A and B are shown apart, each in its own frame.
Chain A
Amino acid sequence: MFSAAIIVFRESLEAFLIISIMVAATRGISHRGKWIAGGVLIGLLGSALVASGMERISSVADGMGQELFNVGILVIAVAMLAWHNIWMASHGRELAMQIKSTARAVNEGGKERSVILVVIALAVLREGSETVLFLYGVANSGDNGLRDTFLGGSLGLACGGAIAGLLYLGLLRIPVSRFFAATGVLVLLLASSMASQAARLLVQADLLPSLGAPLWDSSGMLDQKTVVGTILHGLVGYESQPAGMQVLTYVLVLLTIATAMRWVSSRAKPPVPR
């Protein structure tokens, strides 16, 4: 039961953190609740599908199918998050003003809604498929397998959800004028972290050089498997033993998106004073 709780906690926390950041980052976009729920639902269905097809996925590309599949998911998610942040760089002020004046939510965010849907669906899919495989294995071993797995899994899920809920409530305390700047930074770090995970998978598939494996080892200071380590991994991509290629990718993606945001923001029209 305990192992089920830990695994489900670890996997679900990452997805939960991504969801709560996206929910916060898209504050003020109309009907976003439906799109968030839709993303979770599609992600869960996808998890079951991917888990049941894992054998087939694994066997393609000379046994590197799993790596390439996950790289594909991550690259799409990074592109979506980058797009979101660049869009916000020109619309954030407007959204903040509307929230302040408690006007109706912005109707313009059509593409924004598909970003919510896709990013959340992919996050749930990635973490969910591994969880499904694990739970399937545990449920099939031992007499009380099913009940213990269910109890442990629910406990892990509840803990993951609670931490992400706290993060969300914390974010809401940020004054509206600085709110989107804060969520923008979180989304930026999230995108960089996902890019670094994609780099790790490409190193694992032997398609990229590792450039130092690992580049450093801070597991003595902060083990990635502890609760704090897991939270930091989910939020900013902390790894105790990263490959050099991961660090390089992280920095490059971070600088690229930040530069694009700054450029778009400087071109955006100044907000109309109220």
Chain B
Amino acid sequence: MKKLIAISVLSLAALQAFAAADEFTLTIKDHAFAPKELKLPAGKKIKLLVVNQDVTPAEFESKPLGREKVIPGKSTGIVSLGPLKAGRYEFVEEYHETEAAAQGTIVVE
């Protein structure tokens, strides 16, 4: 456990030092993603800001990317990604995943 904490702290420090990730934004409004298709560069570290403009909480989820993050109402969640290989990665807002507007794709090229 102590080791884990030490590793976490060290890695956090490293994260701060090399925080050269490109920033991209994805917005959720009325449980709909904008844009529905997000283009991201391949082979780079990416900081994806998921802005939830609704008052209700949302959950950004992407099985292919292995990401799952609850974003409380009226707040922004940070999802770090990459470096990614070129391809298409689906994502959903899990609480409304059956609705087309709550489904999107990240296109990496």
Which A residues form the contact surface with B (CB < 8 A)? 2-3, 7, 54-55, 58-59, 61-64, 66-68, 75, 79, 130, 133-134, 136-138, 140-141, 200, 202-208, 210, 213-214, 217, 219, 224-225, 240-243, 246
Contacts and interface: CB of A to CB of B under 8 A. Distances in A.
A193 to B, nearest CB: 15
Contact of B63 (A68, A138, A241): A241
A214 B66 contact: yes
B12 A61 contact: yes
Interface of A is mostly: helix
Contacts of A224: 63
A21 B103 CA distance: 35
Contacts of B77: 58, 63
Contacts of B56: 136-138, 140-141
Contacts of B72: 54-55, 58, 133
A168 B64 CA distance: 33
Nearest to B63: A241
A78 B63 CA distance: 23
Given A58-B70, A136-B56, A200-B66, A205 B4 contact: no
Given A3-B95, A141-B56, A205 B70 contact: no
Given A79-B1, A241-B66, 6 more contacts: A58-B71, A130-B59, A202-B8, A204-B67, A205-B80, A213-B66
Contact of A133 (B1, B11, B57, B76): B57
A9 B69 CA distance: 19
Nearest to A59: B75
B86 interface: no
A203 B79 CA distance: 11
Nearest to A134: B95
From A59, A141, A206, A243, name the one whose CB has the most chain B CB atoms within 10 angstroms: A206
B78 interface: yes
B44 interface: no
A208 B66 CA distance: 13
Nearest to A67: B69
A137 B98 CA distance: 15
Contacts of A241: 63-64, 66
